[in-house]
Amino acid sequence: MTTTWIILGVIAVLVIAGIAMYNGLIRLKNRVDEAWSDIDVQLKRRHDLIPNLVETVKGYAAHEQSTFDKVIQARNMAMQAQASGDTKQLEQAENMLSGTLKSLFALSEAYPDLKANQNFLELQRELTDTEDKIQAARRFYNGNVRDFNTKVQVFPTNLFANMLGFKEREFFAAEESEKEVVQVKF
């Protein structure tokens, strides 16, 4: 009789441990999804601000058309990547957009009237604020990915995670080109 109770006790402990591991994985997966959604919201805000900023700058620097074209092209590519749902493609497109935005802001240094324009300054502040929020959202996402990946990789949760199809997520990383200083020549 005591052997039966011991076996039932061990089974109960294993079931409770399994439930706890599963709930922990689900909780972390949902945090990663929420963090990705936060990035998505900020990217949408950035995509909405860029056309206004470009139009404002165009009035002052009409001969800088190639810079404007690159910014708009990068924005369109980023929006397409966002619609595709491919994380890696989105990461590359957004990093390219960040680089072109740096070039656009660098143009303002050559046009003192533009730097004094209230619309430009407000749009620049909004976009800078959005860029800061994107960086914070990326850090938040990467922190959650780290926690989730750790949970998926450690024993004994890794056995349970593999059986249930939980896969590691990729970190949101900056491209090498985004780490370089922007060179603007007039």
Q: What is the pLDDT of residue 174?
A: 66
Residue 146 has pLDDT above 50, yes or no: yes
Residue found by looking up tokens 């497109």 in the block: 93
When computed from its CA atoms, the radius of gyration of the chain, rounded to whole angstroms, is 24
Residue 113 near residue 60 (C-beta atoms within 8 A): yes
Is 178 a residue whose pLDDT tops 70? no
Mean pLDDT in residue range 90-105: 81
Taking CA atoms, 152 is separated from 16, 53, 148, 155, in Å, by 18, 43, 6, 8
Q: Where does the pLDDT of residue 182 fall: very low under 50, low under 70, confident under 90, or very high at 90 and above?
A: very low
What whole-number distance in Å separates Cα of residue 134 and Cα of residue 138? 6
Q: Taking the CB of residue 167, how many other CB atoms lie within 10 A of it? A: 11
3-state secondary structure of 155: coil
Could you write out the DSSP letters of every residue in 91-133? Answer: HHHHHHHHHHHHHHHHHGGG-HHHHH-HHHHHHHHHHHHHHHH
- CATH number assigned to the domain covering 33-179: 1.20.1440.20
Q: 111-143: per-residue pLDDT in tens?
A: 666 666 777 777 778 888 888 888 899 999 999
> Do the beta carbons of residue 93 and residue 81 sit within 8 Å?
yes
pLDDT tens-digit profile of 45-76?
Answer: 888 888 877 777 766 666 567 777 888 888 88
- What confidence tier does 184 reach under pLDDT thresholds 50, 70, 90? very low
pLDDT above 50 for 85:
yes
In this predicted structure, what is the pLDDT of residue 60? 63
For the chain, the average pLDDT equals 82
Res 26 pLDDT > 70? yes
- pLDDT of 37 above 50: yes
CA angle 93, 95, 98 (to 5 degrees): 110
- The number of C-alpha atoms within 13 Å of 89 and in the hemisphere containing its C-beta is 11
